[in-house]
Amino acid sequence: MDPARSKTALLYGKVRRALQSGRYVPGERIDPAQLAGEFRMSLTPVRCALYRLSGEGVITTYARNGFQVPLPTELGLRDLYDWMERLLVMACGSQRRDTMARDGAPAAIDDDLPKRTWKLFDAIARESGQWSLHQAVRRTNDRLAPIRRAKLELITDGEEELDRLQRRYLARDTVRLEQALHDYHARRKQLVPQIVALLAERRDRLH
């Protein structure tokens, strides 16, 4: 493999995981020079990795060579929740009939709520057997990951809510799973004003 491409792929994965883990918050700038120094790389593979993430909508670009985690508007966040719900319901309706066993979304002991949510939604999409649908869910999952982590304090019963989704997924109860996914996203759409305000407040603390 071309060394430059190898470095780009490595950094792409590291930044993607950093976004999921909450290292960067919505509205925070990502400095290519800082990443280049941290991982001892030249700026070229760093920028290539960041542009790839930008193309997937996970981060945004501004000015010249500027990158940041998207800070959604109320309209944009509602649209994102609505899109995720539609994708997951589509995946539920496209489950492969040849799958005899379901072991759910594998969770590690140290998985927290945002990571468990990402894994469950990814598992639902993956089992559809449709590559394009799975990729669309993965990208939307990545876009929502920093938001899920930032708004944890607004959802007091998130663990119980996710457990219900998991049980219905494992039980192959598609009808009730689709209803639970609708309720899950409807609840978050109701909280959009508070979520956006919280994200903006945290962004302002960075400056």
Bridge partners (DSSP) listed for residue 108: none
Closest C-alpha among 88, 90, 86, 118 to residue 105: 118
Each domain of the chain, given as residue ranges in start order, spans: 3-68, 74-201
Torsional sign, CA 118, 181, 54, 1: positive
Residue 198 confidence (pLDDT): 93
Residue 206 confidence (pLDDT): 74
Q: Which long-range contacts (CB under 8 A, 24 or more apart) does 56-65 make?
A: 56/139, 56/142, 57/139, 57/143, 58/16, 58/19, 58/139, 58/142, 58/143, 59/15, 59/19, 59/30, 65/32
Collect all residues with Cβ–Cβ distance below 8 Å to 34 and sequence separation of at least 6: none
User: Quick one: CATH architecture of 3-68?
Assistant: Orthogonal Bundle (1.10)
Residue 107 confidence (pLDDT): 56
Please give the model's pTM, rounded to 2 decimal places. 0.86
- Residue 100 sits at the vertex; the CA angle it makes with 97 and 105, to the nearest 5 degrees, is 100
In which element (H, E) is residue 29 found?
Answer: strand 29-30
10-residue mean pLDDT profile of the chain (207 residues): values are 74 90 88 90 91 92 83 96 97 66 54 92 94 96 92 90 94 93 97 95 81
CA 27 – CA 151 distance, rounded (Å): 14
CA 15 – CA 39 distance, rounded (Å): 11
Residue 20 confidence (pLDDT): 86
Q: How large is the C-alpha radius of gyration of the chain?
A: 18
Query: DSSP letters along 59-113, please?
Result: SEEETTTEEE-----HHHHHHHHHHHHHHHHHHHTT--TT------S---TT--H
User: What is the arrangement of strands in the sheet containing 66-68, beginning at the earlier edge strand?
Assistant: 29-30, 66-68, 60-62
Count the neighbouring beta carbons within 10 Å of the beta carbon of residue 83: 16
